[in-house]
């Protein structure tokens, strides 16, 4: 029955899109969700507890913002230029949704630009290679049904569309939202509430007024650290990020990783806790990145293995945590860190060390950046965390942990930032300002 229902819905969707593009937009109801599920890639995992599952977002704060917005069904946003690691992709998609809500427009389900695995962790000297070959849907990283259900509940006025072709139209144009603002400091837009007014002026200047029945389509470029996430209040910011939830197979792999760690090291863990104490220290090892040095035009001390690993080991010793879970795309360097840490009586482990047989088969069928999602989830629950200030991956983990942890204010001393449950090395004051634009 379910498959038959989706087949019928798919047919309705295709017909509706054709009619919408060709004729009158007025007849399409505002509450209609144009959505059909896509099959998950990467295999299935045997049913088990999912420590990272949570229900769709039901937010009064989001509903208040959406109900006060003037909606325009003839304005459509696409969001297909989401590239980079999970920190960039997640924040970019959330910014797209927030900009669409602010303008009262419909949103085509975002896509994610794939990255060339041959270049991951190796040659970053050509930034264009980081964008990767082609695009995939949201299901590449996220639970699409959760995204749709969350917006249906918390922003029912928004129209979601399943797909839109890259067709040319004089009433279609790309835009980086921040370009409409004269001044964008490190802490984000000073007056994000001006976005709909500035957008309207931009549309009037760059889009023809006819034919009126043809929609205005704005292809949003990747917006990363420019939207001040708390401009609508803390409760809105905390709820909004949860409209994105990782795909189920990744969540279950992360849960299995934690369970295996608990068994192997005879460490009883309550995986349902946001921060598990006592447990292990999590570390993000990201070293020797020449593209990073070009971008910053200076030597970044903690971008290299010796300084980074020495800091991590010292942190573990100081916190009296004898086990370190390390996330990195460079397994030889994890093993190198493991040998180095034995001198301080610290054991080092990682997901490839803990997952076995069928679970390892599932992991290996995932692409490089999908596997990083498993690390991301495991690191969220660590007793203590160490990362680097130049990494959006590290910052994203820190911001999410901060919301679920002790809420102690982070302090920057020299180039080290800490809030008591997470520490970042090689941090500039501008990084801390920019973190105000990262959704937790």
- What's residue 303's pLDDT? 86
User: Distances in Å between the alpha carbon of 93 and those of 63, 100, 440?
Assistant: 19, 11, 13
Report d(CA 5, CA 314) in Å as an integer.
57
Strand partners, 282: 325, 385
Average pLDDT in the 201-227 region? Answer: 92
- 80: confidence class by pLDDT, cuts 50, 70, 90: very high
Note whether 95 and 224 are within 8 A (CB): yes
| 130-134, 140-144, 309-313: least confident range | 130-134
| pTM of the shown model | 0.85
- What's residue 291's pLDDT? 45
Cis peptide before 310 (omega within 30 of 0): no
pLDDT at 289 over 80: no
pLDDT digits (tens, 9 = 90+) for 24-76: 333 233 332 333 333 333 333 334 589 999 999 999 999 999 999 999 989 99
Average pLDDT in the 181-200 region? Answer: 94
- Domain positions in the chain: 53-243, 248-437
Average pLDDT in the 130-152 region? Answer: 88
Report d(CA 271, CA 250) in Å as an integer.
15
CATH number of the domain located at residue range(s) 248-437 in this protein: 3.40.50.11350
Percent of the chain with pLDDT over 90: 72
- What's residue 166's pLDDT? 81
pLDDT digits (tens, 9 = 90+) for 342-389: 999 999 999 999 999 999 999 999 998 999 999 999 999 999 999 999
| Per-residue b or e along 181-207, where b marks 16 or more CB atoms closer than 10 Å to that residue's CB | eeebebbbbeebeebbebbeebbeeee
H helices of 265-304, in order, are: 290-296
User: Distances in Å between the alpha carbon of 10 and those of 13, 32, 36, 209, 268?
Assistant: 5, 13, 6, 32, 47
Q: Is 386 helix (H, G, I), strand (E, B) or coil?
A: strand
DSSP 195-227: HHHHHHHHHHHHS----TTSPEEEEEPP--S-S
Report d(CA 155, CA 145) in Å as an integer.
15
User: Distances in Å between the alpha carbon of 421 and those of 285, 322, 406?
Assistant: 17, 16, 8
Percent of the chain with pLDDT over 70: 81
* Average model confidence (pLDDT) across the chain: 85
Average pLDDT in the 247-268 region? Answer: 97
Average pLDDT in the 207-222 region? Answer: 92
Q: Is 422 helix (H, G, I), strand (E, B) or coil?
A: strand
Q: How many Cβ atoms from other residues are within 10 Å of residue 33's Cβ?
A: 17
pLDDT digits (tens, 9 = 90+) for 201-212: 999 999 998 888
For residue 3, how far is the Cα from the chain centroid?
30
pLDDT at 405 over 80: no
pLDDT at 16 over 50: no
CA-nearest of 66, 79, 82 to 115 is 82
């Amino acid at each position: 029955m379910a498959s038959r229902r989706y087949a019928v819905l798919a047919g309705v969707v295709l017909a509706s899109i054709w009619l919408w593009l060709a004729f009158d937009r007025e007849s399409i109801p505002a509450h209609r969700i144009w959505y059909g599920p896509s099959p998950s890639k990467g295999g299935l995992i045997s049913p088990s507890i999912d420590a990272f599952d949570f229900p769709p977002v039901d937010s009064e704060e989001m509903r208040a913002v959406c109900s006060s917005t003037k909606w325009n069904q003839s304005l459509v946003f696409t969001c297909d230029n989401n590239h980079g690691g999970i920190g960039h992709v997640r924040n970019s998609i959330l910014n797209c949704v927030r900009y669409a809500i602010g303008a009262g427009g419909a949103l085509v389900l975002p896509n994610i630009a794939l990255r060339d695995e041959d270049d991951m962790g190796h040659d970053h000297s050509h930034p264009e290679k980081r964008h990767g070959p082609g695009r995939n849907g949201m299901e590449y990283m996220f639970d699409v049904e959760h995204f749709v259900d969350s917006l249906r509940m918390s922003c029912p006025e928004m129209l979601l569309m399943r797909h839109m072709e890259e067709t040319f139209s004089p009433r279609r144009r790309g835009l980086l939202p921040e370009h409409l603002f004269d001044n964008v400091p490190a802490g984000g837009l000073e007056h994000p509430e001006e976005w709909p007014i500035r957008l309207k002026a931009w549309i009037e200047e760059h889009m023809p007024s006819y034919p009126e029945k043809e929609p205005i389509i704005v292809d949003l470029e990747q917006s990363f650290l420019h939207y001040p996430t708390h401009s609508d209040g803390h409760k809105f910011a905390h709820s909004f990020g949860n409209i994105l939830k990782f795909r189920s197979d990744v969540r279950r792999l992360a849960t299995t990783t934690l369970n295996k760690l608990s068994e192997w090291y005879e460490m009883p863990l309550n995986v349902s806790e946001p921060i598990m104490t006592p447990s292990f220290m999590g570390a993000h090892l990201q070293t020797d990145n020449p593209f990073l040095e070009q971008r910053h035009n200076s030597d970044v001390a903690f971008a290299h293995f010796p300084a980074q690993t020495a800091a991590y080991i010292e942190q573990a010793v100081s916190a009296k945590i004898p086990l370190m879970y390390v996330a990195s795309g460079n397994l030889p360097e994890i093993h190198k860190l493991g040998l180095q840490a034995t001198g301080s009586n610290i054991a080092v482990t990682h997901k490839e060390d803990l997952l076995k047989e069928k679970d390892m088969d599932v992991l290996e069928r995932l692409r490089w950046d999908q596997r990083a999602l498993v690390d991301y989830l495991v690191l969220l629950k660590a007793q203590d965390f160490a990362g680097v200030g130049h990494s959006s991956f590290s910052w994203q983990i820190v911001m999410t942990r901060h919301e679920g942890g002790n809420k102690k204010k982070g302090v920057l001393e020299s180039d080290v930032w800490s809030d008591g449950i997470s520490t970042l090395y090689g941090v500039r004051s501008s990084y801390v300002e920019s973190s105000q634009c990262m959704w937790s």
